[in-house]
Amino acid sequence: MRLLTRLASCCLAVLALPALAQSTPSTCETSPSNVPLERHVRQVYLDMVGRPPTMAEYRFYKAKGAILPEDLQGLMEKEEFYGRLRTYHRALLRSNISNSIFVNGDMRLGDVPVGFRPLGIRGNPSTPLRGQNGAGCDAFIMQDDCNSSRQDPHLEPATKRCRDSYNVPLPVSVDYSPDQYRCEPFTGIADCTAAIGQTDAAGRVMPEKHLLFCDMRRVGTALQPHYCLPNTGAPQTAGLTTEVMDVDNRYVLAFTNPTAVNGQVARLNRCTLDLALSGGIRGRYAVPQGCVQREGVVMTDAPYWDVTTQGQVPMCAIEAQVRDTNPWTMESCTTGRFTGDRSCGCGVKSNRCESGNGNLHNARISAFNDEPVMIADSVVRRNEDYFNILTTRRSFVNGTLSQMYRQNQSPQTWLVTPPTARDAIPDVPLNDVNTWAEYTRDMNASGVLTTPSWLYRFPTQRSRVNQFYDAFLCKHFSPEAGAIAPAPEDSCNRENNLAKRCGCSYCHATIEPMGAHWGRFGERNAQYLNPETFPRLDARCRDCALSGDTTCNNECGNYVMQAFDGDGANSLGLLRTYLYRTPEEEPNIVGGPRLMVQRFMQTGELEKCAVRNIWNHLLGRSMSSQEESLYLTQLAQGFANDGHNLKALMQRIVATDAYRRID
């Protein structure tokens, strides 16, 4: 032990000299107890640049007899070194949001490969817009020439209305939904009138009274009559056997189930082009149950991601709309509700939607993953204080992020607040994913801790605190040793403030006030809650909460809208992050993550954790307790004295006897 201590003191004393690059090999560096030079050279190259030395490099160091500090500095200027550190920081920050963006394609425009081949949204939004999940528009009819084709003359009026009085597109064709009906085709029959008395593919003979339930639908590109009756094989529609006739007792207008129980459909009316009203409110359209109502196609500007097409492209008429508000109700179209509002659409150049093939979405994920790595890379390259990665306002955008911010693209898929004014963000072409332009973010930015990658990857205040402690303080939250959960009947279990709840307070007394540093950043998104838009107390939200309206509007989702205890009752309309915060803790919300980092800079914990992390990175293992007593404090102090220069820290660790003994 005495020998190890003397050797370590020798190494660290030499390394502590200001002129590190000019020092000569010491006795400690050439001790015969160290591994052979060739092995040492190989290890240094693998750790610094991620590859073994070339034969020429082996011969160079053999002739030289040692790797000197200036040799290490030369390795640290190679692009291979920076590439290896980027990999290190990607792992340290867990910068991968591939599974953090919960989008199932609801806002993606895809090509309908028939007819005019329009772009349209499929999937879930098709249910409120057209009546069936996955249903597209009618690709064979131009919306503003909707009377040029009548697919079901017996179901359609002599003259169709193409749009309502506010120019909202109306249905141009109708089908019966396979979700409620069993529709079977007639073979060799031209139209529904000719199908009367004929047998369908299921062996059913269609009587004249069921003419209104005959549906001309497309098989490929050709129209073919189908006989549609309520699906008696499904529990929800099995009892729809009672027929409702027209006044002339000639045609069936509806099927009913007089004894319908909860969960069963009581009535299905014949399908027409008429839209129902949702809640009886004009402008809020709803598709009648059992029907698929399709609008037609229009020509509109090519989507923003289509940088090769000049001019216009065919698109489903609903998606092609560019309004900012519903003209009937004045409800906003710039929120996620646009997918269920017939009057909204994808916006100018489809900026509210994404490309259907997913390439753009994946490019955004990749760019957001790279952004914090680029920030860390810039700090290391410039030999800045390493902890600038936690506080700098500097960041970078490539073409993908540049255009998303500048043009407000896909704002409902990507709930991200632009880091600064849109026109202050560098203008990089959309398809240029390899050019990264530097810019300065707004005052609320704090290094990697406020990037969308960090905010999405760690979606709550608590998870953000946990990751910061894990990555930069080398601390982990765990229950108190020997802790016993209180009895279920203990009133302390009903305490809503986790910082006080028994069994939880041991960790949450720290987690909750620390999490408040992200109190101005949304949870499960990357939005900044600007005080000008989101004041500490919102009177509108308070009034809604007091009246029992807990939804009120989109902004009120960030406020206390329900009372679960006395504190909650006294906090209605208060920004949620302020709930349970003491006057001493509220400055954390205002100061943000930067204030938290500044406080920890005074304790020495950040330096010691950085030493542990880099040690683990270079030696492939954690420090032993013996190594901690020998090296940790001295390396951390040297790191601080060097102005937190990461390269100097790595050089010090590589020069330790522990590193030189790696087998």
CA angle, residues 294, 298, 302, in degrees to nearest 5:
125
Encode pLDDT of 49-97 as tens digits: 999 999 999 999 999 999 999 999 999 999 999 999 999 999 999 999 9
Do 3 and 11 form a contact (C-beta atoms < 8 A)?
A: no
Please say if the pLDDT value at position 29 is more than 60.
no
Around 280, how many Cα atoms within 13 Å sit in the side-chain half-sphere? 0
Pair (134, 51) in one structural domain: no
Query: Is residue 258 in some structural domain?
Result: yes
Please say if the pLDDT value at position 416 is more than 90.
yes
> What pTM was computed for the model?
0.86
Pair (425, 486) in one structural domain: no
Pair (417, 523) in one structural domain: no
Calpha distance 328→344 (Å, rounded): 11
Q: Amino acid letter at 232?
A: T
Would you state the pLDDT for residue 34?
Answer: 67
Query: Is residue 466 in some structural domain?
Result: no
In this structure, what DSSP letter does residue 386 have?
Answer: G
Do 61 and 72 form a contact (C-beta atoms < 8 A)?
A: no
Pair (241, 277) in one structural domain: yes
Around 143, how many Cα atoms within 13 Å sit in the side-chain half-sphere? 24
List Cβ neighbours of 493 (8 Å cut-off, separation of 6 or more).
486, 501, 502, 503
Of 420, 454, 488, which residue sits at a domain end?
454
Backbone angles phi, psi at 434, to 5 degrees: -100, -10
Please say if the pLDDT value at position 6 is more than 60.
no
Pair (114, 177) in one structural domain: yes
Q: Which residue has the tokens 């963006």?
A: 101
Query: Is residue 570 in some structural domain?
Result: no
Pair (43, 144) in one structural domain: no
Q: pLDDT class for 33, splitting at 50, 70, 90?
A: low
Total domains in the chain come to: 4
CA distances from residue 29 to 76, 581, 631, 652, 658 in whole angstroms, order as listed: 20, 54, 16, 12, 11
Pair (510, 610) in one structural domain: no
Encode pLDDT of 490-540 as tens digits: 888 888 999 999 889 999 999 999 999 999 999 999 999 999 999 999 999
Task: Identify the bridge partners of residue 214 per DSSP, sorted by sequence position.
Answer: 227
Pair (428, 284) in one structural domain: no
Reference 472, options 601, 629, 645, 639; nearest CA is 601
Would you state the pLDDT for residue 13?
Answer: 35
Q: Which residue has the higher pLDDT, 35 or 146?
A: 146
Do 348 and 432 form a contact (C-beta atoms < 8 A)?
A: no
Strands (DSSP E) contained in 231-303 are 242-245, 252-256, 267-269, 276-277, 285-286, 291-294, 297-301
Pair (120, 204) in one structural domain: yes
Pair (321, 384) in one structural domain: no
324 burial type by CB count under 10 A (0-12 exposed, 13-18 middle, 19+ buried): exposed
Would you state the pLDDT for residue 2?
Answer: 39
Q: Which of 258-262, 266-270, 391-395, 452-456 has the lowest mean pLDDT?
A: 258-262
Query: Is residue 132 in some structural domain?
Result: yes
Do 492 and 502 form a contact (C-beta atoms < 8 A)?
A: yes
Q: pLDDT class for 25, splitting at 50, 70, 90?
A: very low
CA dihedral for 74, 642, 466, 390, sign (positive or negative): negative
Query: Is residue 498 in some structural domain?
Result: yes
Q: Which of 30-34, 288-292, 610-614 has the lowest mean pLDDT?
A: 30-34
Query: Is residue 40 in some structural domain?
Result: yes
Query: Is residue 47 in some structural domain?
Result: yes
Pair (306, 188) in one structural domain: yes
Name the average pLDDT for the chain.
Answer: 91
Rounded to an integer, the average pLDDT of 478-490 is: 81
Do 48 and 81 form a contact (C-beta atoms < 8 A)?
A: yes
Query: Is residue 103 in some structural domain?
Result: no
Q: pLDDT class for 28, splitting at 50, 70, 90?
A: very low
Q: At what angle do helices 646-654 and 37-49 cross, to 10 degrees?
A: 160
Greatest CA separation for the chain: 112
Domain of residue 62 covers: 2-75+604-660
Would you state the pLDDT for residue 31?
Answer: 42
Pair (181, 241) in one structural domain: yes
536 burial type by CB count under 10 A (0-12 exposed, 13-18 middle, 19+ buried): middle
Rounded to an integer, the average pLDDT of 651-657 is: 94
Encode pLDDT of 156-165 as tens digits: 999 999 999 9
